[in-house]
Amino acid sequence: MKWTHFVIADPLPGSSWGTGGIGLADFDGDGDLDMAISRRETQTAYWYERKDDATWVQHVIGTSETFANTLGAVALDVDHDGFVDMVYRGIWFKNPGVLADKPDTPWQVYPYDGGGHDVIAADINGNGKLDIVSYDGHVLAWFDTTGDLAKTVVADGRDDHGGVAPKGFGDINGDGHPDLVIPGLWFENPGDGRGPWKRHPWPHKPIPNASYGTSTRVWVADMNGDGHEDIVYSDCDTGFSHVYWVENTGGGTGWVRHQLPDPPGDPHTGSFHSLGVADFNGDGIPDVFAGEQEDPDTYMQSQGKLPMKTPGLKPRGVIWLSSGGAKPTFTPNVIHVGNPGWHDAVLGDVDGDGDIDIISKIWNKDGPTYHADFWRNDTPVRKSTPEASRD
């Protein structure tokens, strides 16, 4: 595989830890994808206007005290006016709709009763409009964007660190409605998202003494082409993480967990806080991406927990290429070793050439600066063969 690294911002505003989640969307309507993040220290959200692969121009979205305790974020058109907004913990910012001509125009801010470690977008009630889903490790809820962001609690009383981002939704039981996935449980959509969500188990494998408790990144996708939506997940927010695909053998009632091989190099692994599923080499088969955090956190060891990463571990960005077929194998391809690391990453065709690129940022640096990065996919397209889609 071939990837080219570009810097979006280095350094980011501020000089201390804490960079909120990424929004990737065409905020100014010029036909290409821009990026948005927030910073704890400055209590400000920013969007970065893409001029070309190597040139990104910083603009301010707005400020809020909420950003002092924000991680999750997602880009979607909350008010359905045709312009993509930004949603964070407890607040959302309305795109002013004039950014093409006036990119520094302030965005109006509005509150809502949600947010936390994970904030994602999904059409929960099947009306063709994206809704907000949030998970703070205790309460999983969704917010109807066509109903004044009315809150529906899917589950509460949990004690996870996180677990529904970046794409913990999909039709697990094949009834045509999007269900929701968190560590060890999937919740059956009652039909329009309202009413009781029945809970079902799936075989998540916890890490004992995880640095910050149970936490995953999760992505629902059909990984073996059998028509059943599977669960791909990575351990995160702890050292010694792994990546898995959990095979749905039908209706979400039978599961087989498969661990993907750890990347070559250092025998230890860090926190795979970045996760995504896409066809990265153009062969028509879904592959898996995961990246280890740059964070050097070790203080949790004083509380009997695992370090975020072992001393000397250099974070790796990894793509597991799938062989396809009913029983796919996944071969790890390390696309980068060392800084810049990967705290959160989002996937999209940033440069408009038809393949999937990656935008990433870090949380806590182990280098000189905080930064956000663009990874351009320059991998030559490979065509799938008939054998690749068979047993």
**Angle at the Cα of 271 from the Cα atoms of 369 and 281, rounded to 5 degrees:** 90
Count the alpha carbons within 13 Å of 95 in the hemisphere toward its beta carbon: 27
For residue 219, the SS3 value is: strand
Residues 192 and 177: their CA atoms lie apart, in Å, by 8
Cα–Cα dist 254/252, whole Å: 6
SS3 state of residue 390: coil
Note whether 248 and 228 are within 8 A (CB).
Answer: yes
Query: What average pLDDT does this structure show over 134-141?
Result: 98
pLDDT band at 141 (very low <50, low <70, confident <90, very high): very high
Token digits of residue 296: 């050097």
Phi-psi region of 82 (alpha: psi -120 to 50; beta: other; left: phi over 0): left
* CA distance from start to end of the chain: 25
Q: What is the pLDDT of residue 183?
A: 98
Q: In what order do the strands lie in the sheet with 108-111?
A: 74-76, 85-87, 91-94, 108-111
pLDDT at 299: 83
pLDDT in tens, 326-343: 999 999 999 999 999 999
3-state secondary structure of 66: helix
Distance CA 143, CA 121 (A): 10
Q: pLDDT tier at 296 (50, 70, 90 boundaries)?
A: confident
CA 70 to CA 375: how far, in whole Å? Answer: 25
pLDDT computed for residue 389 by the predictor: 38
**Could you tell me the pLDDT band of residue 62, with boundaries at 50, 70 and 90?**
very high
**Lookup: tokens for 136:** 């703070």
User: The tokens 């203080």 sit on which residue?
Assistant: 299
Residue among 83, 90, 112 at smallest CA distance from 38 = 90
Nearest Cα residue to 136 out of 111, 162, 154, 169: 162
Query: What pLDDT sits at residue 67?
Result: 96
Characterize the bridge pairing of strands 131-135 and 118-122. antiparallel
Token representation of residue 348: 């999209």
Residue 389 sits at φ, ψ, to 5 deg, of -100, 5
Mean pLDDT of 310-324: 96
pLDDT value of position 383: 59
Q: Is the pLDDT of residue 1 over 80?
A: yes
- Is the confidence at residue 387, as pLDDT, over 80? no
**Number of Cβ atoms within 10 Å of the Cβ of 153:** 11
Q: Which residues sit opposite 56 in a β-bridge?
A: 50
* Share above pLDDT 90 across residues of the chain, in percent, rounded to a whole number: 93
* pLDDT bucket at 349, cuts 50 / 70 / 90: very high
Q: In what order do the strands lie in the sheet with 118-122?
A: 118-122, 131-135, 140-144, 150-155
pLDDT tens-digit map of 252-291: 999 999 999 999 999 999 999 999 999 999 999 999 999 9
Structure confidence at residue 75 as a pLDDT band (50, 70, 90): very high
pLDDT tens figures, 203-233: 999 999 999 999 999 999 999 999 999 999 9
pLDDT at 385: 47
Q: Convert the pLDDT of each residue in 17-61 to its tens digit.
A: 999 999 999 999 999 999 999 999 999 999 999 999 999 999 999
How far, in Å, are 97, 102, 112 from residue 27 at the CA level? 8, 12, 21
Strand partners, 213: 211
pLDDT band at 381 (very low <50, low <70, confident <90, very high): confident
How many other CB atoms sit within 10 Å of the CB of residue 276?
24
pLDDT confidence of residue 297: 83
In this prediction, residues 115-133 reach a mean pLDDT of 97
pLDDT in tens, 170-209: 999 999 999 999 999 999 999 999 999 999 999 999 999 9
pLDDT exceeds 60 at position 388: no
Q: What is the phi/psi pair of residue 111, to 5°? A: -85, 155
Q: Per the structure block, which two tokens stand in for 10?
A: 């280095």
